[in-house]
Structure 1
Amino acid sequence: MVELFLATFTALFSVVNPFGAMPVFVALTQNYERKHQQQQALKSALYMIGVLVVFFFAGTFILNFFGLRIEDLRVAGGVLIVKSGLALLDPDGHKGKKISEEVEQEGMEKEDISFTPMAMPMLSGPGAIAVTISMNGRAGTYLDSLIIVASIILVAFVSYIILVFSPQLTRFLGKGGMAALARMMGFIVLAIGVSFIVNGLLSLASIAFPS
């Protein structure tokens, strides 16, 4: 149980990467009052829980509807995660996660940024969704499912804390610290993506060439 909890938490936290979302959150909430900023952080975390839990329980049905296998998702999700990891490792990785100018402008113009762009796609993006759905295959019992959901909730709670203190963390770390943190997270994310691809390919190979 502990192993499943830690595996889910570490994989999901690395891909969610709330540190990468800090610059966007700070930019979009810089004119907010402190209380409203904290409310936005809380709602973003709650929306993230909702999105990931829904995909965790409904992901298998979605895959079956489109005629996909969990192995296909692991390979495709691994490619997305590797791409995210490489983006964090590049010289501009310290700038955090990227959103389009249109989405950023829309966020600047509205008072509630918790669902978009913070919960989606900043926190619960395609990579996090792919990890969550793949975890469904590891949930052999109801207890396993509860453990995975608990891991999602803990990731959301830690993300909430990071977002609440993001202005202070950004100032404390500075550009150099943010760059170093981004590269560290990028390396971990890259390793997780490679693991997803390798495990997916091995599973597909065992299906195609059964012993």
Structure 2
Amino acid sequence: MAGTEVLLNAFVTLLVTLDPPGMAPLFLGLTRGMNSAERKKVALRGSLIALGILTVFALFGNGILGTLGISIGAFRIAGGLMLFFIAFEMIFEKRHERKEKTTEKAITDDHIENIAVFPLALPLIAGPGSISATILISGSLSEPLERAALILVIAVSIFIVFAAMMIADRIDRFLGSTGRAILTRLLGVILAALSVQFVVDGIKSAFHL
């Protein structure tokens, strides 16, 4: 794929895996009892930490794979399968349940003071899906300018998540349970198609087809 196509693919994939509308009710659960200023601080810190994590993987993910002796083709296949599993969970509403359990655990274990780091930044924002997608896409970009553009795409995607958290209460009321279910399933189908493409590209790369 050309650089522009890869970056467009990156934006769609990251936006789907980050799932801003789905993050809204989870963020409300995480910050229950906090005022608007405290919520903004948690959202901003969590978003910046997640941006840092994904930027590191965008820049050095392939180097880490090389050190471990893992080819980009193999990682594309593994990452594609992982993204497909996430898509499957989204379509059948398993992912939201798993994230809600993570949210509840964080509150009961009294991690409020560190909520921006765990579980907001990791694993709710910079989770396995978004990290895998970042490494997969960065492997398709060889030029420094393209890598810089990928980091910009990551920043824009995370800003959308931050914005969703800032208007979380309004999004939750607007979508309702039915709206969230429909949107999550639709995004899951899109992610499933993208993940299959990753597997196909991985097979071609691994077997030099």
Matched, 1:134 2:136: yes
- 2-structure distance, mates of 1:105, 1:21: 19
Q: Deviation per CA, 1:112-147, whole angstroms, max 9, x where unpaired?
A: 311110111111111111111122222221111111
TM-score normalised to the size of structure 2?
Answer: 0.90
Farther off after superposition, 69-78 or 130-139: 130-139
Name the % identity: 29
Corresponding residue number in structure 2 for 1:73: 75
Q: Deviation per CA, 1:38-84, whole angstroms, max 9, x where unpaired?
A: 11111111111100000111111211121101111111111111111
Corresponding residue number in structure 2 for 1:113: 115
- 2-structure distance, mates of 1:39, 1:63: 34
- 2-structure distance, mates of 1:31, 1:104: 11
Q: Are the counterparts in 2 of residues 20 and 95 from structure 1 also a CA contact under 8 Å?
A: no
Q: Are the counterparts in 1 of residues 30 and 106 from structure 2 also a CA contact under 8 Å?
A: no
- 1-structure distance, mates of 2:100, 2:21: 13
Change (3 A) 1:78 1:3: closer
Unaligned runs of 5+ in 1: none
Matched, 1:42 2:44: yes
- 2-structure distance, mates of 1:43, 1:164: 13
Corresponding residue number in structure 2 for 1:157: 159
Change (3 A) 1:187 1:42: same
Q: Secondary structure at the match of 2:85?
A: helix
Runs of 4+ displaced beyond 3 Å? 1-5, 91-104
- 1-structure distance, mates of 2:84, 2:174: 29
- Tell me the amino acid that sits aligned with residue 138 of structure 1: S
Aligned length: 206
Q: Please give the residue correspondences for 1:190-201 in structure 2 after superposition, counting only pairs within 5 Å.
A: 190-201=192-203
The alpha-carbon deviation at position 158 of structure 1 amounts to 0.6
Q: Please give the residue correspondences for 1:76-115 in structure 2 after superposition, counting only pairs within 5 Å.
A: 76-91=78-93, 97-100=99-102, 102-103=105-106, 105-106=108-109, 109-115=111-117
TM-score normalised to the size of structure 1?
Answer: 0.89
Change (3 A) 1:165 1:95: farther
